Structures are given as structure tokens and as C-alpha cells.
A and B are shown apart, each in its own frame.
Chain A
Amino acid sequence: MRKVFVAVINAYQKWISPAFPARCKYYPSCSAYAASAISHYGLRGVAMSIWRLMRCNPWSHGGVDYAVKNQTNSSQKTSVGVH
């Protein structure tokens, strides 16, 4: 199940997201955050991702926010602001 979620997110990152200007206020982007949260925490990761998306709103200032702490050099490849 986790793999399905992550696959959908990866497909979004590869095919849909690049078509639009970068928009995410956080690093890593919401989609990268969701992928790592879900693969590490499962259902709890889904809730974390929804909460992250809610925080990525026009009034937030963004910042650096990893789903999994101490994951500074993960295999999750992300580029600036890709959402």
C-alpha cells in the first residue's frame, strides 16, 4: 500500500509537477515530504502529509522541514521548490 502511494507521488513529481512553476514554500517540497513520510510512517505519514499541505499556504513563511529527522542525505532526490 505504501509503495502504491509513493509510486503515485513519484509519477506526479516526474510527469505533472515539472509542467508548472515551482510553488512549494518548504524544503523538501510537499511531495518529497509526503513520499518520505508515507514510506517511513505509513498511515501516520498520510496524516503528516495532509498537515504539511495545509501548512504550505499563502500565509506561511515556509522553511526547512523534513518528515524524517536525521535524514539529511537521503536517496529522495528533490530539486528546489518542485512541489
Chain B
Amino acid sequence: MGVILDPLYNLVSGVIILFHNLLRPIFGTDSGVTWSLSIVGLVICIRIVLIPLFVKQIKSQRALTALQPQMKAIQNKYKDDRQKQSEEMMKLYKEHKTNPLASCFPILAQAPIFFALFTVLNGIAAKTPEGVSAPIARGFLKGDYLDSAAQATFFGAKISQSFLGSPDTTVKIVTVILIFVMSATTFTTQRQLMVKGMPKMDSSNNMMLQQQKIMLYLFPVIFAISGVNFPVGVLIYWSTTNFWTWGQQFYVIKRNPTPGSPAYEELERKRAHKNKEDKRGASGTVIDPENTEPGQNSQEGEVKGQRKQPKKKKKK
């Protein structure tokens, strides 16, 4: 087990120590701010590494627009056979070497990092059976660093303490707030995706949607149950990574939404509206021939009053 876990402890503690060294001239060596921000730094590093994967997924989702007619055809052809429908859909993706789904592995790959952080932070708070504090060094978090981290606080709560593991009221209050933040960010992220980010579902998907809705409300409860066992530092990590997910999704839904989703239609409307305004502003009510794409010239004869906006006009 050590062969697998030691490199992970080194990685997690190494990044934290690196950020600690960068930040301590500003906030002080033993400051809780330094240690808390070091954990945030770890999140930022991990999420930056994962950005290319995210971009790749978005790109293949967009490539799907071209397959839309074939997808519709499959949906109609196998209306009553969900299994066949899914099979044909997957075949279509494979044929065109584009798959809009995120894949299962990356989530699993993050779990060991999370577990390593959990163990490293728990090591700081370790006690002997008699209750005497006896921190366990893991990875690069040892010596002076370990002593300093053991004293570090986040809004008055030691980052190595957990709700169930500490009698301290401050720790209890801080963990409850962090669990609330975790639940709230997950909830908003999921809701945002369901309401705006996904293509409208037909009735055959209703049951799935219903199930998702139940989960949406059940998840904060699951967080509350597991969160009471986690040290404050892990909760900081979790909350930060949730904020990142939310921000990333917000950006994509706003700027580059999935075709067919409500957010996509909204953006199309906005773009169409903006195109109209731009053109009016540039040359009264008539379109300036020099500003239009070559392909549109054939339409010029009928460009009077309310003409339909070209759909594929790209902005920026």
C-alpha cells in the first residue's frame, strides 16, 4: 500500500509546502491564512491540470451539432427501445470519433488525491491513546512544518480538527458552515446545469429527470453525514473545488452552451439581437454590403426591414 500512497502523500504535501513557502513572507509562517491558502493552492493546481480534459469534452460536445440530424433519426427510429437507442447513439459517436460524455476515469483518479489529503491532514491531528497530541509526519509535511500546521487555524478552528473529533465549539461551528457551503455550491452547480445547461429532454427521459431532482435535495444530507468526519482542511479543499466547478460551469453555460439547451437558445437570441443592432447602427436600416460575409450577398435583394438573421454568424 505504501508504494502507491507514499508518492501521493509526497505530491499533496509537496504542493502544500510549496505554497506555504510562497505565502509565508506575506501572512507569516504559522498563520492559519498561510496554511488555508496553501490548501486552496493545491486545489488550483489540480484543477488547472484538469482544464485540458474539460476543454476536450466541451469541444466534442460542440462537434455534436453536426450530428444532430442523425441523432434525431435514431431517436425516432428506436422510440420504444431505449437500449437499442443508446446502442445506436454510442455507435454513432464512435463512428465520428467524438463522444460528448466526460468518461468515468477522471473522477476516480481524483479520489486517491482526496484520500491522500485526508490522511496527511489527519496525521497532523493524531493523538496517542492517552490523548496526548502526537502528529504523524507524512510526505514533506514534517519537522517544523508539522508543528506549525498543527497549530494553524481557519477562522479560529484548527485545520486538522473535525466536527466529531473535537470538543471545541469553534471547530463545530466552522465545520457546520463549511458543510453548508459545500452543499450549497453542489446544489447550485447541479441546478444550474439541469435548468439551463442540458438539452431539453423528451418525455422518455422524464423518470431520469425526476430521479435527478430527488438527488438534488438529498445530496446536502449525504454531505452533512460524511462531512462531520472530515478535518477542517479537507472541508476547505472540498468547498474550494466546488466553487471552481461552479465557476467553470457558469462560464461555459454563458459563453459556450450545449446546443439545444435553454442557455444555448438564449445566447442565440442575444446574438441575433446584437447582430441586428450592430447593422442598424452601422448603416441605418440597410446592411452594409462590405460588412456581410460573401455567402450572404445572394440575399441582399430581399434585405429590407425584418430579415431573418443568419444562424451561423460568429461573433468574435
B-contacting residues of A (Cβ < 8 Å)? 15, 18-27, 30, 53-54, 56-58, 60-64, 72-73, 78-83
- B residues near A (Cβ < 8 Å) are 53, 56-57, 82-83, 85-87, 89-91, 93-94, 97-99, 101-108, 190, 193, 198, 208, 211-212, 214-216, 218-219
CA distance A54 to B86 in the complex (A): 21
Given A19-B215, A61-B99, A63-B94, do A24 and B104 touch, yes or no (CB 8 Å)?
Answer: yes
- On chain A, the residues within 8 Å of B198 by CB distance are 21
B103 touches A25 (CB 8 A): yes
Q: CB distance B105 to A54 under 8 Å? A: yes
Q: Is the interface of A mostly helix, strand, loop or mixed?
A: loop
Contact partners of A22 in chain B: CB under 8 A: 101
Complex Cα–Cα for A79 and B208 (A): 8
Q: In the complex the two chains form, what is the Cα distance from A24 to B93 in whole Å?
A: 12
With both beta carbons as reference points, the residue of chain A lying nearest to B105 in the complex is identified as A57
Contact of A21 among B53, B86, B193, B211 (CB under 8 A): B193
Residues of B within 8 A of A27 (CB): 86-87, 89-90
Query: Judging by beta carbons under 8 Å apart, are A80 and B82 in contact?
Result: yes
Neighbouring B residues of A19 by C-beta, 8 Å: 190, 212, 215-216, 218-219
Which 6 A-B pairs have CB atoms at the shortest separation, nearest pair first? A19-B215, A63-B94, A56-B104, A18-B211, A23-B102, A27-B90
In the complex the two chains form, is A25's CB within 8 Å of B216's CB?
A: no
